[in-house]
Amino acid sequence: MTQIRCAVLGLGRLGYWHAENLATKIRGAQLLSVIDPMEGRAEQVARELGIDGYSTNPDDAFNNPDIDAVVIVTPTSTHAEMIKKAAASGKHIFVEKPITQTLAEADEVIEAIRKNNIVCQVGFMRRFDPAYYEAKKRIEKGDIGQPIYFKGLSRDGNVPPASFIKHSGGIYLDVAIHDYDIARYLMNADVVSVQATGNVLQHSFLSEYGDVDQALTTLQFSNGAAGDVETMRIAPYGYDIRGEIVGTEGVLTIGSMRQHNIQLYTFAGSTYDIIPDFPSKFKDAYLLEMVHFIESLTNGTKPDCTAEDGKAALEIAIAATDSFKTGKLVQINTVHV
């Protein structure tokens, strides 16, 4: 089988995991190069993963004719530029969420992707998480009848540093967007209006960036269903991601807080370990989404989470941000599903 030769751009909190998966776990993929402008970082990762190629300049990947695909895990504010350069140089693209920071940028990158006939997958890994994946199959099978309400909950106790927050686009674009995407996917309907609120309850530095550590979004879907998304960066117990779909004939709950399938009993009481962070929770999902990307390129099939899906989720996140800022309900006019 032909190997898909890849470069990973950005080797921070998440980039390293994608690089490790491509270098060591994915049949049909070959990691040729890792790139990060931070002095010494790419060299260190290349050494750890046993590969020869590393650089501090992303252009080295775009200009390298041996590279078929780039995996973009750089700060969100750089995604638009990276995608446009990748598309112009004929590289297929896996890009982390959110696809871009603005809708104008999303339109530009979609145009560049179409014009250059490039495959692009956006990193909404919940679609590949075994529990969410199974939920989608059960809903499609009709196990809960017609979905009429979506509930999404994303709580993280670890707030990222200011250097990340500054380029993240804020809590709706950075965190709640995962729930907006999975809501569209599981409900098989677009969101037509949102109303969002948010507050800074603990991490006061977020105010400097117009961001919040606790947020709530209510959703109205095109088919009349409704939903809500709770998002926070101040969970005092771990990393907690759950979902619930109410249907006309049943309810489906997704996810748990449990890290290991064990329970400890002592005279002090009974406890279990709680998932501490996103790499622990979504290790399998990050691997499976990348397997899907490589298989799509190998087989010439369309990936499950396209640039258009990336734009649709971004539209909801931008509408939620506007609603938070204005206190008003915001309509979304584009219907994709």
Ligand X SMILES: NC(=O)c1ccc[n+]([C@@H]2O[C@H](COP(=O)([O-])OP(=O)(O)OC[C@H]3O[C@@H](n4cnc5c(N)ncnc54)[C@H](O)[C@@H]3O)[C@@H](O)[C@H]2O)c1
Q: Which residues bind ligand X (CB under 6 A)?
A: 9-15, 35-38, 41, 58, 73-76, 78, 96-97, 123, 125, 164, 174, 278
DSSP string, 78-144: GHHHHHHHHHHTT-EEEEPSSS-SSHHHHHHHHHHHHHTT--EEE--GGGGSHHHHHHHHHHHHTTT
What does DSSP assign to residue 258? Answer: B
Query: Of the two residues 56 and 193, which places its CB atom closer to ligand X in the complex?
Result: 56
Query: Of the two residues 143 and 208, which places its CB atom closer to ligand X in the complex?
Result: 208
Closest separation between CB of residue 73 and ligand X, Å? 5
Closest separation between CB of residue 203 and ligand X, Å? 16
8 and 18 Cβ atoms separated by less than 8 Å: yes
Query: Of the two residues 60 and 228, which places its CB atom closer to ligand X in the complex?
Result: 60
Alpha-carbon gap, residue 164 to 145, rounded angstroms: 41
Closest separation between CB of residue 9 and ligand X, Å? 5
Query: Of the two residues 8 and 319, which places its CB atom closer to ligand X in the complex?
Result: 8
Please list the residues that pair with 6 across neighbouring strands: 31, 69
Query: Of the two residues 96 and 304, which places its CB atom closer to ligand X in the complex?
Result: 96
Closest separation between CB of residue 230 and ligand X, Å? 17
By beta carbon distance, the residue nearest ligand X is: 12
What does DSSP assign to residue 274? Answer: B
Query: Of the two residues 83 and 246, which places its CB atom closer to ligand X in the complex?
Result: 83
**Helix residue ranges per DSSP H, 25-78:** 41-49, 59-62
Query: Of the two residues 9 and 183, which places its CB atom closer to ligand X in the complex?
Result: 9
State residue 215 phi and psi, 5-degree precision: -145, 155
CA distance from start to end of the chain? 35
Closest separation between CB of residue 204 and ligand X, Å? 21
Closest separation between CB of residue 135 and ligand X, Å? 18
Task: List strands edge to edge, sheet with 191-199.
Answer: 250-254, 239-247, 147-156, 226-232, 214-221, 191-199, 330-331
Query: Of the two residues 123 and 238, which places its CB atom closer to ligand X in the complex?
Result: 123
Query: Of the two residues 10 and 147, which places its CB atom closer to ligand X in the complex?
Result: 10
**Residue carrying the six token digits 């995407």:** 181
Alpha-carbon gap, residue 139 to 145, rounded angstroms: 7
Closest separation between CB of residue 221 and ligand X, Å? 23
Beta strands at 120-122 and 92-95: parallel, antiparallel or unpaired: parallel
Closest separation between CB of residue 43 and ligand X, Å? 13
**Residue carrying the six token digits 């490790």:** 20
Alpha-carbon gap, residue 89 to 106, rounded angstroms: 18
H or E segment at 196? Answer: strand 191-199
Sign of CA dihedral 42, 287, 13, 164: positive
Residue 274: closest CA among 288, 287, 255, 289: 255
Closest separation between CB of residue 58 and ligand X, Å? 4
